[in-house]
Amino acid sequence: MQKIKVAIIGSGNIGTDLMIKILRMSDILEMAAMVGIDPESDGLARAKRMGVATTHKGITGLIDMPEWEDIKIIFDATSVKAHHYNWKYVQQYPDKRIIDLTPAAIGPYLVPPVNFDSNMDVKNVNMVTCGGQATIPMVAAVNRIAKVHYGEIVASIASKSAGPGTRANIDEFTETTANAIEKVGGADKGKAIIVLNPADPPLVMRDTVFTLSEQADREVVRESIHQMVAEVQKYVPGYSLHQEVQFEDIPEDSPVFIEGLGYRHGLKTTVLLKVRGAGHYLPEYAGNLDIMTSAALATGEKLCQLQKHLA
């Protein structure tokens, strides 16, 4: 199969890591252009050294490049505000699609092992957040066995792995992730918390997922979670359970109060995860960034394997 040409907008940590993943690992995608706004950025310099065409003039600079005509997929690794600006241009071209790695959420949320099939024809898909990519598969794994009333996630990432873009989008991170817990994970109510861990040396990404669902066979729920972990590991090898799944009964005569839902009882499931990065461009502790680029790469490749849907 002929490789599909792609561009990355955003020459920071996430965009550069994604570029290296595509160049080193993909038999399906071909890097056609790296786009930034800072001519002195390390990402643009590295792209040039690796033989990738570059521009420091943003989306308009990309459109002016000769490579633009053949590019089919654009990965946006910028910021919420920048994505809105970029999308205004990209949506004018019927033959191009955008994979959004910001929390802008203009397009539908996409978590590859959960809801790819329902979004294969969409021109703009949103990769939620790093916390969402790590935890929503676990909420969905419980929900496919027993209806989830409430899903709460706590994403703890190394402070050193949170760049200016991540810090500027903290509010959008929590809102976007909570919404995706509901829309993709299947919970009636979702909540997301992010912790920037200042520990030195930095610790790898840790995620805690709490769900309160209807009662179900615990072993069936546990097996569903393990199966979903294996699905995520296909494109994020450093993704794993930090401890075995934990369960607790919330009895009917002692329910918990959930804002917006009222009192609920059932089965509480706790999933403890860790995500170690692949170390392509970023340190191994930056699993939060690695899972985003890995999910975006997996999404791009799956879209290209369904070329007939790219028109």
E strands within the chain? 4-9, 29-35, 53-55, 71-76, 97-100, 124-126, 148-158, 189-197, 205-213, 239-241, 246-250, 256-258, 262-264, 266-275
- CA–CA separation, 39 vs 34, rounded Å? 11
> Which residue's entry shows tokens 């890097």?
31
User: 97-100 and 124-126: which strand pairing?
Assistant: parallel
Using alpha carbons, list the distances in angstroms from residue 307 to 19, 28, 108: 21, 11, 20
N-to-C CA span, the chain: 17
Rg (CA), the chain: 20
Q: State the catalytic residues.
A: 130
- CA–CA separation, 176 vs 81, rounded Å? 14
Q: Which residues contact 2 (CB under 8 A, 6 or more apart)?
A: none
Q: Which of 193, 164, 163, 196 is nearest to 178 (CA)?
A: 193
Pull the structure tokens for residue 60.
């308009």
